Each structure stands twice: as C-alpha cells, then as structure tokens.
Amino acid sequence: MRQHVNPLSQFFQLPLSLPSKNILFEKSHYPIHLDIGSAKGEFLIELATKHPDWNFVGLEIREPLVSLCEKKRIKLELNNLKFLFCNVNVSLGEWLSDFDDGQLKRVSIQFPDPWFKRKHYKRRVLKTNLLNSIAKSMNKDGEIFIQSDILKLFDSMTNTMDKSEYFNRKEVRDMMRLDKNPYNVKTDRELYSLKKNLPIYRGIYIRNSLLFID
C-alpha cells in the first residue's frame, strides 16, 4: 500500500457526499470526536471501545486503509465508530454543516504526513480553510489536539493554529512537551516514536466564544 498520496492531485479534488450522522450512527445525538488522518484506525477503535457514550469518525485519504479499518470495526461490532474516505480539505466543510450545534466536541490531527520539501508544503493537511470549517461547526470549549514527532511540522501546525481567530492554546506548563496523549490512547506512530525515544510534540487548542463569520 502506498504510504503517501498527493492530496492536490485531480482525483482527490472531487468533493464527496459523506453520509449524514443520522445514517452513520444509531445514537446520532452523542458528542462526536473526529480524527483526521485515522491511518490503521487502532487509536479510534480503542477509544470507541472505552467510551460507548461518544461517536467517533476517522477520516482518511488512503481508501485501502479505510476498507481495512471498516473490516476491523464491523468485526468488533463498534456501532459508535465509522471510518470514511475523503480529502478533508475538499469534503469536510459541507459534511460538518449537517451536525447539530455543538455536537462536534473534539478533533485530533496526529502525525500527519510531513511533506518535507518546501514546494510540497501546500500538501500538508492543516490549513486555514480546514480550521474555519471546524470552527464553524464547533461551539465554545470544543478542542483540537495536534501532535507530531517532527518539530518543523509541529511548528508549522502551531503557526497555523495560532493565527486562527477561533482557537486559543490551552495553557499547560510547557506546550512543546505536553506529557502524554490526553485521551490515554496511543496511535501506532506514537508507540513507535516512544519505543525509539523520539521526542513527541503535542498541543491542545480550545474553541473560543468568537462567532464564526463567513
């Protein structure tokens, strides 16, 4: 399976009509945690198992991984979890507009593709338009959690977040060295980085009370 795909290629620019939350979940009124770039899905599978009173959605641009995750989810009979294929920077905004006010409580973006070359920075997932789509559907005190084991990428992510009118950094003793994943569940990449004693850079941002203006 290819580890990277170019999100700017013509194939991924076609907006997808994602299923509404009422179709995805039996209990569609539960709060939603959205994981952008869900990869092999183990993070969300563990969270969904531990928290049956939440709904979880994993969005992934690599379609074969989505198929693999859905097979795992169905086998485990996790009805509060769904994995979907899409390019979030193309399809997320319209889909989020279906959510009830304040239902989107948490978003996580963990170890996204770094796209090291400067000419490829535009392929990185965290963009202002994506943040605006999330802000529009998230009420005060909703949160975005980001983490990476690549400092330059983390700096790029925090720069984008810090420029947002709608999210403020959560005050912690040292933002660059947040001790652990706040959900007490680790991604595959996180486990790998810890095993190799690589530094992990983490941050939490909280939705402020500023009303979204189109």
What Rg, from alpha-carbon coordinates, does the chain have? 16
The answer to whether residue 146 is domain-embedded is yes
CB 65 within 8 A of CB 139: no
The answer to whether residue 213 is domain-embedded is no
Q: Which residues are designated catalytic? A: 113
The answer to whether residue 103 is domain-embedded is yes
pLDDT digits (tens, 9 = 90+) for 23-68: 889 898 899 999 999 999 999 999 999 999 999 999 998 899 999 9
Number of domains in the chain: 1
CATH of the domain at 129: 3.40.50.150
pLDDT digits (tens, 9 = 90+) for 156-202: 999 999 999 999 998 765 544 577 899 999 999 999 999 999 999 99
Question: Please, where are the H alpha helices in 39-119?
Answer: 42-50, 63-76, 88-96
Once rounded to an integer, what is the mean pLDDT over residues 79-93?
89
The answer to whether residue 8 is domain-embedded is no
Nearest to 203 by CA among 164, 211, 99, 192: 164
Q: What is the pLDDT, as a whole number, of residue 165?
A: 93
Contacts for 162-167: CB closer than 8 Å, 24+ residues apart = 163/128, 164/128, 164/131, 164/132, 164/135, 164/205, 165/210, 166/131, 166/132, 166/135, 166/207, 166/208, 166/210, 166/212, 167/131, 167/135, 167/205, 167/206, 167/207, 167/208
Range of the domain at 188: 18-207
Once rounded to an integer, what is the mean pLDDT over residues 75-99?
88
The answer to whether residue 10 is domain-embedded is no
The answer to whether residue 3 is domain-embedded is no
* pLDDT at residue 144 tops 80: yes
How far apart CA 212 and CA 23 sit, in angstroms, is 27
